[in-house]
Amino acid sequence: MEIFDYEDIQLIPNKCVINSRSEADTTVELGGRRFKIPVVPANMATVINDEIAKWLATNDYFYIMHRFAPETRRAFIETMHAAQLYASISVGVKSSEYDFIDDLAANQIVPEYITIDIAHGHADSVIAMIKHIKDVLPDSFVIAGNVATPAAVRDLENAGADATKVGVGPGKACITKVKTGFGTGGWQLAAVRWCAKAARKPIIADGGVRTNGDIAKSIRFGATMVMIGSMLAGHQESPGNILKIDGKTYKQYYGSASETQKGEHKNVEGKQMLVPYRGRLVDTLNEMQEDLQSSISYAGGRDLKAITKCDYVVVKNSIYNGD
């Protein structure tokens, strides 16, 4: 198995066949809906909130609402549906989550997307939850994760998952690899490739993306969608406090398994940090789309499929050489 990560890969250009990058189509289909770009903000409390979710859905972006205010989820779904927008939520695997799913089913409240959000998703508990959701809410598109191996992808797909989320600990705010010795940190892109080869359904690459070019690399190695945390935190609209330090502006960012999120120092696998203040979210998303359009033009095509056909080279830690 070839081991590499984002900074080790450069894609090789093909002849450009479009006159302007604006002709390139960056849209992607997931769960019967088409979205503007193959990017989803991480379902973390410092990245997504109700207002951002509503704006994203209104503007044809995919989102996954976090699961850290469980008592608000039913109202969130109802609010999104009242606005004629799709609802995309996260759940865990505790017994209370079964009660929540059953309550939705009993009241015929059907979120279009449900993400089972567990740090170690290759688990009997996740398989059981997939089966339960598919039994009582069969019309919901179920995303399950997070996983790191082809065996995990196959097991979750066979249980009924409609997509799997790949990445264990490669995120900037995640310290799983340090605390446990396990994870895909340092070889996340190779893990995406490995898992995508086994997948029959969409893969969401989650974690380790540091530049816009990494989105194209994720697509090249089999991801349908790319989940991004730190690069989509720190915006004007983002949850979290704005702090000024030495004349520079920052915002809070912390992992889902951090002490800050949990409210206690127990089973901590995330950390808190500051990210630079980035201005408006729409500007960052537009830049991501424009850069991805450029990627498509370099790939020699007109849509994302062209990127999947590119050749590549592995040149260890090559991206910033010469800077």
Q: Where are the beta strands (DSSP E) in 193-259?
A: 203-206, 225-228, 242-245, 248-254
Q: How confident is the model at residue 224 (pLDDT cuts 50, 70, 90)?
A: very high
76 marked as part of a ligand binding site: no
pLDDT of residue 36: 98
Q: How confident is the model at residue 264 (pLDDT cuts 50, 70, 90)?
A: very low
Q: pTM for this structure?
A: 0.92
Spatial CA neighbour of 301 closest among 13, 11, 7, 10: 13
72 marked as part of a ligand binding site: no
4-53 pLDDT per residue, tens? 999 999 999 999 999 999 999 999 999 999 999 999 999 998 899 999 99
d(CA 234, CA 210) in angstroms, rounded, equals 14
217 marked as part of a ligand binding site: yes
39-41 and 9-11: which strand pairing?
A: unpaired
d(CA 267, CA 270) in angstroms, rounded, equals 9
d(CA 104, CA 236) in angstroms, rounded, equals 33
220 marked as part of a ligand binding site: yes
Cross-strand bridge partners of residue 225:
204
d(CA 199, CA 147) in angstroms, rounded, equals 12
64 marked as part of a ligand binding site: no
Task: Judge whether 150 and 1 are in contact, CB under 8 Å.
Answer: no
Cα diameter, the chain: 60
53-66 pLDDT per residue, tens? 999 999 999 999 99
Query: In the numeric block, which tokens belong to residue 129?
Result: 């939850």
Find out whether the peptide bond into 321 is cis, omega within 30 degrees of 0.
no
User: Over the Cα atoms of the chain, what is R_g?
Assistant: 19
214 marked as part of a ligand binding site: yes
Residue numbers annotated as active site: 174
